[in-house]
Amino acid sequence: METNPFTLGFGKTPHTFISRTSEIQNVIEDFNSDLPASQSYLITGVRGSGKTVTMTAIANSLKEEGEWIIINLNPNRPLLETLVAKIYDQPDLQPLFIKAKFNLSLFGLGASFEKVAPVSDIEVALEKMLNQVKEIGKKVLVTIDEVTKSENIKIFTSSFQLLIREDLPIFLLMTGLYENIHELQNDSTLTFLYRAPRINLEPLDMVSIKNRYKEIFKIPASKAKRMAELTNGYSFAFQTLGYLCWKNREFLEDETALLPAYDDYLQSYVYQKLWTELSPQDRKVLSILSDEKLTKVKELREQLGFSSSMMSVYRDRLKRKGLIDVSSYGYVSLTLPRLNRYILDYEEL
């Protein structure tokens, strides 16, 4: 039996996925320019929107060019220490550090050199290493997935800011949920992050989804279009629907049988966690929206008893979280497919 080209795993690049070519190319072109507009980008979006896949696509593309060294860091580990260790372990770089007699023995790296005092500060060690990287015309890209406002991240980004001031060839990509990225960017001690470009992942192109389903399942355009509509452009839904239909081809002909399974996967993998992370007031807004496909902003505001300014605050925040669509003037709707079903079922409990 052929391997299922779709996957339900978060963070893993699926066998088949729809690339966000424009966003990816913009970052690559900027990082490769002689005078980059920014040496850091933040990728944000709702859970399951493809943040990690997008970051990985950028990193892999740069890696293929030959002059980039890609370092993936775990946000829950000491970041500066791990970065120094991973740079030191690069086969192309280690001989340079030994030749330059970098004594990094205090960090458990390499050997100590007679009459060479060990480097005692991790930032100094990193700066020395990056100067060597610069001399051979290479660049370092650091990727950190699913960041939150932690002491680890604050220490690392503060050091990163100093390194780019020294014109060192280090670049940064981080992904995170909107609220976590927002909290980081509004930290008064991390001013450079406030200016870092943020890529908000919008829904995937529906035509691309339709064409991919049509190609993989060898189905008529009308059926592929209906499948695309069921995803609302949500990346995880594209994978989930494809995964289910690949496992059970009868689902392609029987939407009534498909939908309960589809709902169950969306709820188990995403919606239950998403719902518990929302504030009571956010839930109230979404609950009202779940009753209709399109809701007038004015009617929503009246039902909530909000002032116009308060309504704007909630509307903007939920939009940035990727949960509502405000593209139709004067109206608002839910963005995630069949989230309304989950909300209605939840409220019946």
Task: Return d(Cα 282, Cα 263) in angstroms, integer.
Answer: 22
Rounded to 5°, angle at Cα 252 from 246 and 258: 90
Angle at 181 between CA 285 and CA 269, to 5 degrees: 60
Q: Report how far residue 290's alpha carbon sits from residue 339's, in angstroms, rounded to the nearest whole number.
A: 8
Tens digits of per-residue pLDDT, 159-176?
A: 999 999 999 999 999 999
Amino acid at 87: I
Residue 74: per-residue pLDDT: 96
307: left (phi over 0), alpha (psi -120 to 50) or beta: beta
- The amino acid that residue 304 corresponds to is L
Please name every residue paired with 296 in a beta bridge, in sequence order, or none if there are none: 331
Return d(Cα 336, Cα 232) in angstroms, integer: 6
Q: Which residues of the chain have pLDDT under 50?
A: none
At 310 the pLDDT is: 94
| 152-178 burial code (b ≥16 CB/10 A, e <16) | bbbebbbbbbebbeeebbbbbbbbbbb
Residue type at 28?
A: I
pTM equals 0.91
CA Rg value for the chain:
24
* Number of separate helices (H) and strands (E) present in the chain: 17, 8
The strand pairing partners of 68, in sequence order, are 139
Please tell me what DSSP assigns to residue 345: H
Chain-centroid distance of CA 117 in Å reads 42
The pLDDT of residue 105: 60
Instruction: Label residue 83 exposed, middle or buried (CB < 10 Å: 0-12, 13-18, 19+).
Output: buried
Q: What per-residue confidence (pLDDT) applies to 106?
A: 60
Q: Are 216 and 61 in contact (CB under 8 A)?
A: no
